[in-house]
A and B are shown apart, each in its own frame.
Chain A
Amino acid sequence: MSATGERFPYLKDAGEVVEVQRGPKPGGLGGAYRAFGETLRGLKTTMARVIEGPVTIQYPEEKTPVYPRFRGRHKLHRFEDTGLEKCVGCSLCAAACPADCIRVVAAENDPANRVSAGERYAAVYEINMARCIFCGYCEVACPFDAITMGHEYELADYNREDLIFTKEMLLAEPAERTPLRREGE
C-alpha cells in the first residue's frame, strides 16, 4: 500500500488524492526576504512591458484589420461583363432575414432596357442597417450571389433614416477600405 493509501484508507483509489504544493509560510525574516525578491520580480515584469512597447491601435488613424470572412456592410453585385445587376428580386434574402431588415420590391424587366439578367429585377432594395444583425443569412440564401457581406464596419450615423441603405448605396463601392488581416495575423 502506498503512502497516500495509508493516510487516507477510506479512499478506494489512492490516485484520487492530489497533494497540494504549498509555499513557505509568510512572515519572519525569510518572508521579508522572499517578499523583497518577489517585488523585484514584479518590477522586472512591468519593465518588460515598457521594453515591448504599446500594443494600442490608434483607432481613428489606424484601423483594426479584419479577417477575410468578416461580415460587415452588405454589397450588391453586377455582372462584370454586361454590367447588369445580379439581383433578380426573388426576395429570398428578405425571407431568410431573422431581423426582417431587408425590403425588396420586384418589377418586370423591360426587354429594351434590362436592369438585371433575369426576368425580374429589384425595383426597391433596402437594408435597414439599424436592425441588421450581420448574421450573413441573406448571403447564404441568395441563389445568384447577388448580395455578399463586405468588410466595412464604420456604419455609425446621426439619423436612423440615414441607416436605411438603398440599392444605389449598396451597389456602390464603399468609400473607405478596411484593412484586411495578413496571413497568420
Chain B
Amino acid sequence: MTLPLASTTYVEATWILIVKSVVIFAVIFSIVPLLTVVERKVLGRFQARYGPNRVGPFGLLQPLADAVKLISKEGFRPENAVPFLWGAGPAIVVFTGIATLAILPWGPVQDIGGTPVGLYGIDVPIGVLYFFAFGSIAFYGLLLGGWASGSKYSFLGAMRSAAQLISYEISMGLALLGAIMMSGSLSLVSVVEAQGSLWYVVPQFAGFLVFMVAGFAEASRAPFDLPEADAELVAGYGTEYGGMRYGSYAMAEYIEMFVISGIAATFFLGGWMGPGPGWLDPIWMLVKVLALIFVFFWIRATIPRVRYDQLMSLGWKVLLPLATLNVVVTAILVTVT
C-alpha cells in the first residue's frame, strides 16, 4: 500500500522557490486590492446602482485612494489595550493568509526556458493539513486582537469568532475528506491530477456545498459575518483598530476569501484543468477562483446575516451530519469499487 503522500523525489532549486514566492506575492497583492473595488461594484450592480466610479477609469484607482487614506491615519492605541498582542493581531491574520497561498496549485510541473518549474508555491505532502493549520492560526489573530483591545465590543466579536471557528472547521474538514479519499492523496497537486476525468464537484456535490457554506463562515463573510456584525457590535474584533491595522484585517478577509475559493477550486472544480495549451493553466485556475469569489459577493448581496443560534444550529445540526454522511458514503463507495 502506498502512503497518501506527494512525491518527494523532485526537489526544486532554492532560487526557483524564491522567484516563485515573489511572483505569487506580487500577483496576489495586485489582485486583492482589486477585489475590494470589484466587490463594491458588483454589490452595486446587485442593488441596481453603479458602485464606485469616480476615482480613475471605472473607479479602478479606488483601492489606491483607500490605501493612502488608511496609511496616512494616526496609529491610535486605546489605553486599555495590551500593546504587543494588540499589534500582533492584524499581523497574524495577514501572515497566515499569505502563508496559505503558497500551497495553491496554479499548474503542474512545466518546462519554462528549459527549467522544470512547478506552478505552485510548494507541493507539501500534507497540503490540506497545512491549509487547516494556518486557517486555525488565523483565528488567533482575531481572538488576540479582540481580547487585547480591552473593549467589550471587540471581546464579544472575538468570542463569536472562536465559537464560529469551532462550529465550522469540523464540517469544513469532513467536507474535504470525501475528495481526499477519492484522490488518495493529501497533496493538492495530486488531488487536481486525480480529477483528470471527472471534477469532484459531480460525485462530491454535497461535500462542495458543505465546504462552501463552511467557507463563508471561516472567512466571516455574509451571511456569517457575526464576528464583525456592525449593527450590534460596532465592528466586532476590529472596533478599536484604525488606519492600516484595520486595513490589515480587511485585507486578510479578502485573502482568506481568495484562499477558500482557491481550495474549493482545487478540490472540486478541477484546479488548473481546462482546455488549451499548458500556459493557460494558471488562467483557468484564476477564472475558477474568481467565479467562486463572485459567488461570495452574490451571497452577500442576497442573504441577510443569520442569528447567532441559527449559525450554531446550522453548523452542528445540518452541516456536520451532512458532511459525516458524505464521508461515510464516499468511504463505502471507494472501498467497494
Contact = CB atoms under 8 A, between A and B. Distances in A.
B49 A46 contact: no
Contacts of A53: 45, 48
A47 interface: yes
A55 B48 contact: yes
B298 A43 contact: yes
Interface in B34-88: 44-50
Given A32-B318, A43-B298, A46-B298, 18 more contacts: A39-B302, A42-B302, A42-B303, A43-B299, A45-B302, A49-B45, A49-B47, A50-B46, A52-B48, A53-B45, A54-B44, A54-B45, A54-B48, A54-B49, A54-B50, A55-B48, A56-B50, A58-B50
Interface in A24-81: 32, 39, 42-43, 45-47, 49-50, 52-56, 58
A39 B303 contact: yes
10 contacts: A42-B303, A43-B302, A46-B298, A47-B46, A49-B48, A53-B45, A53-B48, A54-B49, A56-B50, A58-B50
Nearest to B43: A46
Among A43, A45, A46, A50, max chain B CB count under 10 A is at A46
Contacts of B45: 49-50, 53-54
Nearest to A42: B302
Instruction: Give the interface size class of chain B.
Output: 10 to 19
Contacts, number: 35
Contacts of B46: 46-47, 49-50
A106 B299 CA distance: 68
Interface of A: 32, 39, 42-43, 45-47, 49-50, 52-56, 58
B297 to A, nearest CB: 10
A87 B303 CA distance: 61
B306 to A, nearest CB: 11
Contacts of A43: 298-299, 302
B165 interface: no
Given A32-B318, A42-B303, A47 B298 contact: yes
A64 B25 CA distance: 46
Nearest to A39: B303
A149 B29 CA distance: 56
